[in-house]
Amino acid sequence: MKAYRVSGIAPFGSVRNKFSLDLPAESKDDAEHIAYSILGSRHKAKRRAIQIDTVEEIDPRTSTEPRILHTFREEIELAGGPIAPANEEE
């Protein structure tokens, strides 16, 4: 299992906004499928309406997502704890 960051654009109501999700998955394809599933169930967005730009593997210690911290808690502890999150551009 690896940690991935999926980024893109999706419809949230009547507006299209950028999104970024940190997900645990077996592969990039699996992470993409999970992102489609989450956005579809939370926001009723169809797969055709969701545009995924990047799917990249990340170090689980850089994520603040509870799902990642829980899944990789043993690896994070062995590696010396979480790394301060990188500053994101606004």
Rounded Cα distance between 67 and 10, Å, is 21
**For position 81, what pLDDT does the model report?**
83
Round the average pLDDT of the chain to a whole number and report it: 91
DSSP SS3 for 23: strand
From first to last of its 90 residues, the chain has per-residue pLDDT tens of 999 999 999 999 899 999 999 999 999 999 999 999 999 999 999 999 999 999 999 999 999 999 999 999 999 889 888 775 656 555
- Domains of the chain by residue range: 2-78
Which of 59, 60, 57, 76 minimizes the C-alpha distance to 68? 60
Name the fold adopted by 2-78.
Ubiquitin-like (UB roll) (3.10.20)
Structure confidence at residue 90 (pLDDT): 55
Instruction: Indicate the DSSP class of residue 81.
Output: S
